[in-house]
A and B are shown apart, each in its own frame.
Chain A
Amino acid sequence: MRTKPKADCNGRKFVKVFTILEKHGHKPSRLVPILQAVQEEYRYLPKEVLTYVATALDISPARVYGVATFYSHFAIEPKGKHIVRLCDGTACHVKDSIPILDAIRKRLKLEGKKTTTDDMLFTVETVACLGACGLAPVVVVNDRVHGQVTPEAGVKLVEEIIAREQS
């Protein structure tokens, strides 16, 4: 089910890393925008690429790792093909967002601290606030916002994707 990268896909991405580094003049002060751009390419920050970035910017890999783990926007583990973000800001929380999360995680068999399914199809995360409190509780699936979601509706959203992937 996991889409196999095209033969030269990784190579192209890596060449893109060169361009990103050059665009930012190999400046250590540009680390955050560089990491953002690298994540755009890879959808996460592979350790080896981070080592390469550290080498190219002449800063210690531990520092790059520190920055990459500080911001929750950066992912250092690969994310699933579909990203489900559940808002757990104050408004959504009081509107019972957690039962939705529990239902989706149960449906996807995500246990403990795991956020990505074994088949790499889904990553389920919570975010602090999406600024759509009027629609609470809110679930965002692949950048599409769904308002007033119930646990059942949340599970349905996921199941629709599974059905599409299997067809």
Chain B
Amino acid sequence: MSATAAVKTLTIDGLEVPINGERNLLELVRKAGIDLPTFCYHSDLSVYGACRLCLVDIAGRGIQGACSTPPEPGLKIRTQTEEIREIRKISVELLLANHERECTTCGKSAACQLQDVARKLGIQKVRFKPVHEPAPVDRSSLSLVRDPNKCVLCGDCVRFCSEIQGIGAIDFAYRGHDAAVLPAFGKDLGEGECINCGQCAAVCPTGALTPRQEIEEVWKALHDPTKTVVVQVAPAVRIAIGELFGMPPGESMRGQMVAALKRLGFDRVYDTSFSADLTVIEEANEFLGRKTKGGKLPLFTSCCPGWVKFAEQYFPELLPNLSTCKSPQQMLGALCKELLPTELGIEKKDLVVVSIMPCTAKKFEAKRPEFVKDGIAEVDHVLTTQELARMIEEAGLRFTKLAPESFDMPMGFKTGAGVIFGNSGGVSEAVLRYASEKVTGKKLVNPDIQAVRGEDGLRIVEIPVGEITLKLGIVHGLKNARTLAEKVRRGKCDLDLIEVMACPGGCIGGAGQPVSRDTDIRKLRTKGLYDVDKNMELHKSQENHFVTECYQKHLGEIGGKHAHRLLHTHYHNRRRMIGEDIALGDGPAADKVQVKVCTGTNCFVKGSQHILHNLLDQVQQKELQDKVDIRASFCFENCDHGPTVSVDGSKIHWCSPEAAQSAINQKLKDK
């Protein structure tokens, strides 16, 4: 190979290897078929170089981290020397010394990289004593459990949250032996700006971050003879669950999965793709309505609960742009709770709806107060793909050997449009398949709309539909969503529809899916969903006759009053974190006028600092310290009306210094 001057090569363990634009030696070594251990390397994220496991010996340069060394022609690299083996072992041993090694009860057991690396390196004894004191496990989040005793400080979670999601809900705090990954101010995860996407848990090599489990609650419901338990399964689950039973990624295990659910004791097995078809019809009509009647555009999709919370926290002024459609999970839940009690002759309280999702944020979504009425939730429990696999294992079912069974009708019936909801671009394609027929009145012969498909995290496509051209934005990863949302906020976005999914590749890459470091798996899962669509007879939501029947029998008109009550929702501004006010006087007293100025992000941008400054000056000049108590507050959750000032509990929206002053003066007079 070295004879051809064009190909640059280097040597790895005596083998000559061509360099083909690999970003670092680690990529090249792995391409050469040698799997170096790593904790902190993740191809989606920036290189951190902290775990010191991917060390290689470079002739003339000594021992270097392969992840942080670019390939250069002529390098002579050795990956296995006595010294390197020794260093790797010591590094892992030191990590293990401080790691809570309760593997048998750990949620990450069998998928843990630390376990895996320790086994591969043949570590049989940990010679070092732990120096860490046990820290409490954080169970505050509805979606995730954070166990600091298992953290190896690789920072994958920190980098995913800030680099891909653009949030930074967790970060490194303290230093040296006290270093830890923590939410801001060491608060609990559930109190902060975490949007529950769970990607931190997906990239976590150990059990330091894991999806919160609800298996026990579901078993309890299944074993309770007074309960009727129905289950719905999201599209992305069927093409990934097989991975946990030795099947290749992307292989649809629909039949076995349904059979397993029936054997586990679920009374009805429904398909979330049914309500995805319903979502398509409601959302496409909402979209076309806005487009033709001059409503708020672009329309953002709202099926992804991670994105919804993100928008509520950071883009309050864009909430009117979010589709009011509930997510398919909630639509199906609402329909079950509305229709099944009568149909089955049971009381509403005895009906339990469980959903199986590729997602951890769905656990949070199900508990949103909008979706719980009189103590009865639309969806009672949300399990991830991982949890379902665990239940199947627990029940001793030989998953791959099960005779396939079918979903129950009518809410198990779907078209391909409802299936491709599970991957990035799928919602857009499904909506286009509907909109194009609705707009042109002509039959769409080839339902495949290749233009919206793809892997990039931010795609802009133009699709001609009859006389008009629709401009679509398709994003996954919330940092990309932020980019587009900022443009919309500045009025510099001419898109019609923006599909947002928080997780890489869409729901198929959700944090509830089987854990994998191989990013190619996402491609296979996406292909799996498109294949399922291909193999179906129907591809357009409007062809789902059970959906049509559902409108005729129960929902009435599309987008009508009844449909709105069951299938639509609303959003509200949400503070980024729970925090205390800043007292700016010597404290409250009952007879003082209590003034709170919002200094949350949105009000800050709209000039609340100016108001605060002005009021503090006034109080000082007029010597009102004993009569007025001024506080800087964090977010009244009225961001769209900001800046907001509260005077003795009554809020002044779009407040100016003058408006605040006159309200205070009035109060002083009244007293």
A residues bordering B, Cβ < 8 Å? 4-12, 14-15, 18, 46-52, 54-56, 58-66, 69-72, 76
Quote the shortest CB–CB distance from A13 to chain B (angstroms): 8
Nearest-CB residue, chain A, relative to B586: A7
- Interface hits, B548-601 → A, CB 8 Å: 576-577, 579-586, 599-601
The answer to whether residues A55 and B604 also contact, given A11-B619, A60-B167, A62-B171 and a CB cut-off of 8 A, is yes
Contact B185 A47 (CB under 8 A): yes
What are the 7 A-B residue pairs with the smallest beta carbon separation, nearest first?
A: A60-B168, A7-B625, A61-B184, A62-B171, A11-B584, A62-B184, A66-B171
Inside 8 A of A69's CB, which chain B residues have their CB? 173-175
CA distance A14 to B609 in the complex (A): 10
Inside 8 A of A4's CB, which chain B residues have their CB? 586
Contact B616 A47 (CB under 8 A): no
Contact A46 B582 (CB under 8 A): yes
CA distance A11 to B173 in the complex (A): 29
Inside 8 A of B626's CB, which chain A residues have their CB? 7
Count A/B pairs, Cβ under 8 Å: 111
Count of chain B residues with Cβ under 8 Å from any Cβ of A? Answer: 43
Contact A60 B620 (CB under 8 A): no
Contact A8 B625 (CB under 8 A): yes
From DSSP, what is the main secondary structure of chain A's interface residues? helix
Nearest-CB residue, chain A, relative to B179: A70
Inside 8 A of A18's CB, which chain B residues have their CB? 609, 613
Nearest-CB residue, chain B, relative to A22: B609
The answer to whether residues A62 and B192 also contact, given A8-B625, A69-B175 and a CB cut-off of 8 A, is yes
B residues bordering A, Cβ < 8 Å? 162, 167-175, 182-186, 192-193, 576-577, 579-586, 599-601, 604, 609, 612-613, 616-617, 619-620, 625-626, 630, 632, 634
Inside 8 A of A66's CB, which chain B residues have their CB? 171-173, 182
Quote the shortest CB–CB distance from B499 to chain A (angstroms): 26
Inside 8 A of A60's CB, which chain B residues have their CB? 162, 167-169, 171, 184, 193
Which of A46, A47, A72 lies at the interface centre, i.e. has the most chain B CB atoms within 10 A of its CB? A47
Contact B173 A65 (CB under 8 A): yes
Contact B577 A61 (CB under 8 A): yes
Inside 8 A of A58's CB, which chain B residues have their CB? 601
CA distance A65 to B162 in the complex (A): 15
A70 interface neighbour in B162, B174, B192, B599, Cβ under 8 Å: B174
Nearest-CB residue, chain B, relative to A5: B586
A-B contact pairs, 6 of them (CB 8 A): A12-B620, A47-B579, A55-B604, A56-B609, A60-B193, A64-B184
Contact A62 B604 (CB under 8 A): no
Quote the shortest CB–CB distance from A126 to chain B (angstroms): 15
Inside 8 A of A10's CB, which chain B residues have their CB? 582-586
Contact A65 B619 (CB under 8 A): no
Contact B599 A15 (CB under 8 A): no
The answer to whether residues A63 and B171 also contact, given A7-B626, A14-B584 and a CB cut-off of 8 A, is yes
Quote the shortest CB–CB distance from B456 to chain A (angstroms): 25
Nearest-CB residue, chain B, relative to A13: B584
CA distance A6 to B626 in the complex (A): 11
B579 interface neighbour in A8, A51, A64, A70, Cβ under 8 Å: A51
Inside 8 A of B600's CB, which chain A residues have their CB? 55
Inside 8 A of B170's CB, which chain A residues have their CB? 62
Contact B632 A52 (CB under 8 A): yes
Quote the shortest CB–CB distance from B358 to chain A (angstroms): 26
Quote the shortest CB–CB distance from B319 to chain A (angstroms): 20
Contact A50 B185 (CB under 8 A): yes
Quote the shortest CB–CB distance from A95 to chain B (angstroms): 25
CA distance A9 to B616 in the complex (A): 11
Contact B577 A65 (CB under 8 A): no
Inside 8 A of A55's CB, which chain B residues have their CB? 599-601, 604
CA distance A5 to B609 in the complex (A): 23
Inside 8 A of A54's CB, which chain B residues have their CB? 184
Contact B582 A14 (CB under 8 A): yes
CA distance A2 to B609 in the complex (A): 30
Inside 8 A of A15's CB, which chain B residues have their CB? 613, 616-617
CA distance A59 to B625 in the complex (A): 33
Quote the shortest CB–CB distance from B637 to chain A (angstroms): 15
